[in-house]
Amino acid sequence: MPMIHVNGIDLHYHQQGKGVPIVFLHPPCIGSRVFTYLRNDLSRDHRTLLFDFRGHGRSGTSRTNLSIPLLVEDTRQLMDSLDISSAYLCAYSVASMVALEAMLTHPDRFRGAVLLGGMAEASGWKTKAKLRAAGVASRMRAKDLVAVPILWVNADNSQTLKRLRGETLAGDVAKWRDFFESARRYSAVSRLPDIKQPVLLVCGERDSLGKKDMRTLQEGLPHDSSAFIPGVKHFLPTYAADPIGDLMRGWISAQEGLHDDRRDPDEQPGPEAWIIEALNDPEVTIHS
């Protein structure tokens, strides 16, 4: 993955494929390599962009306090540098907050988002406790104490664990702490009705906390669709990449078709077209 200087920082990124752009956003501590399976799939017919947030993975760090608005600005400026005028976002877990803030503050740049185990705020004592504990461990600069539990649950095999660990431990634990703390204080719940872009919510059927967060998003977002992946918990990018890739491909195609002025109106696919196709996939359950 090459480096590029953006917004005062060197960012480690990887572009692949051609077509409608998708930018992937990773949660605290773990880097962008968590999206490798999805990137390899979707880059067959989309322009995919993975990058490590500042202080994460192989990207540089800075004295500037990392915050969710700063990560949005890094993302926007990276897109500028790579001549990406607008894109869909695919955000995992806590990084959903970055995606929501991006759509709120730059609606012209972000066409919509796919939120994998997404959340609009750190609600519930379990989620808050996890973020607080991770922040405390980060303050102690105990990299392995923070990283190993996260890496373990996100690794589907020993090779994935090795690669994720190598990337993660290259990061700056102080920036992890900043990210955890910023997420703990952040909330987009009251502003969800202001997001006019389409949003696809994807949750593991065995993710009890994720289902609660999804309900909050469903109640607030005006243009959302939801899908559950049977037999999976929260760790979607590595354990459910195949059904999610198919789901995203159909959903994005439907959104783009709905706004394709070159097509005859009678030939425009309805918004339910991707749902009908997904219902034929035994690995996906759609809730409208």
Examine the pLDDT at 139 and tell me if it is beyond 70.
no
Alpha carbon separation from 262 to 108, 256, 257, 274 (Å, rounded)? 21, 11, 10, 20
| pLDDT above 70: percentage of residues in the chain | 82
DSSP 177-225: HHHHHHHHH-B-GGGGGG--S-EEEEEETT-HHHHHHHHHHHHH-SSEE
Largest CA distance in the chain: 61
pTM of the model: 0.88
Give the burial class of 183: count Cβ atoms within 10 A of its Cβ; 0-12 exposed, 13-18 middle, 19 or more buried. buried
Examine the pLDDT at 131 and tell me if it is beyond 90.
no
Q: Rounded distance, CA 103 to CA 80, Å?
A: 16
Cβ-Cβ contacts under 8 Å for 249 (sequence gap 6 or more): 42, 45, 46
| Mean pLDDT within 77-101 | 98
Round the average pLDDT of the chain to a whole number and report it: 87
Predicted local distance difference test score (pLDDT) of residue 269: 44
Q: Which of residues 161 and 267 earns the better pLDDT score?
A: 161
Q: What is the DSSP letter of 52?
A: P
Cβ-Cβ contacts under 8 Å for 217 (sequence gap 6 or more): 115, 118, 119, 120, 192, 199, 201, 224
| Rg for the chain, CA atoms, rounded | 18
Q: Which long-range contacts (CB under 8 A, 24 or more apart) does 85-88 make?
A: 85/109, 86/21, 86/110, 86/111, 87/20, 87/21, 87/22, 87/23, 87/49, 87/111, 88/20, 88/21, 88/22, 88/23, 88/112, 88/113, 88/114, 88/252, 88/255
Give the burial class of 190: count Cβ atoms within 10 A of its Cβ; 0-12 exposed, 13-18 middle, 19 or more buried. exposed
What the block records as the tokens of 59 is 């990207």
Residue located via tokens 């519930």: 124
Lowest mean pLDDT among 142-146, 160-164, 169-173, 229-233: 142-146
Instruction: Say which amino acid occupies 16.
Output: Q
Lowest mean pLDDT among 67-76, 145-154, 259-268: 259-268
Q: Rounded distance, CA 229 to CA 183, Å?
A: 25
Mutual orientation of helices 173-185 and 125-139 as an angle, nearest 10°? 150
Q: Are strands 110-116 and 199-204 parallel, antiparallel or unpaired?
A: parallel
Q: What would the pLDDT profile of 1-16 be if each residue is shown by its tens digit?
A: 699 999 999 999 999 9
What the block records as the tokens of 29 is 């501590």
Homologous superfamily of the 3-120+188-287 domain (CATH): Alpha/Beta hydrolase fold, catalytic domain (3.40.50.1820)
Domain boundaries, the chain: 3-120+188-287
Length of the chain: 288
| pLDDT above 90: percentage of residues in the chain | 72
Closest by CA to 179, choosing from 106, 74, 76, is 74
What the block records as the tokens of 167 is 């990337």
Q: Are strands 47-51 and 9-16 parallel, antiparallel or unpaired?
A: antiparallel
| Mean pLDDT within 67-92 | 98
Cβ-Cβ contacts under 8 Å for 107 (sequence gap 6 or more): 196, 197
Predicted local distance difference test score (pLDDT) of residue 147: 81
Q: What would the pLDDT profile of 27-59 be if each residue is shown by its tens digit?
A: 998 999 999 999 999 999 999 999 999 999 999
Examine the pLDDT at 283 and tell me if it is beyond 80.
no
